[in-house]
Amino acid sequence: MRKLLVLLLLALSIPALAQSPLVPGMTPVSCFVENVTATTQCFVAPVAPFRIYITALILSNEATTAQSIQIVSGTGTNCGTGVAAVTHKIAMVTAIGSVTSGAPTVFVVAPGQAVCVSPTNATAFGASLTGYIAP
């Protein structure tokens, strides 16, 4: 019984992954945008020299017309200044469809840049991105 109590106390003292860095210097991040029709910020810009590493993404076309969706970086409101492509334009050729990518995919964003999701048409889309912030 005493060993069980010690194990329980030890387990409770270990922080959860969402509350602590993956390794020293790395902080996990995720974002979610739903039913938007214009370029929308997903991650705020970290202070340089830190940058965002995107390790997984889910993009969905929520409109009845085909469109492309692209991950971009930049500064200012919704990455409006200094826009740079992080991914190519990902074609959503079917109405109401989705694209998924997961680890070990890593998209590296320039230091001090925010991450946004941008459609080619002003029609509804959604996105979920996960990754981490590190130098």
Domain positions in the chain: 19-134
Is-contact 99 90, C-beta < 8 A?
yes
Alpha-carbon gap, residue 7 to 78, rounded angstroms:
47
DSSP-assigned beta bridge partners for residue 131: 29, 54
Per-residue pLDDT of the chain (135 residues; tens, 9 = 90+): 444 333 333 333 334 444 444 577 899 999 999 999 999 999 999 998 999 999 999 999 998 888 999 999 999 999 999 999 999 999 987 777 788 887 677 899 999 999 999 999 999 999 999 999 999
Strands (E), the chain: 27-36, 40-43, 51-61, 67-75, 81-85, 90-92, 97-101, 107-108, 114-119, 125-134
Start-to-end CA distance of the chain, whole Å, equals: 45
Contacts of 6 (CB under 8 A, 6+ apart): none
DSSP-assigned beta bridge partners for residue 129: 31, 57
Task: Select from 2.40.128, 2.60.120, 1.10.12, 2.130.10 the CATH code of 19-134.
Answer: 2.60.120
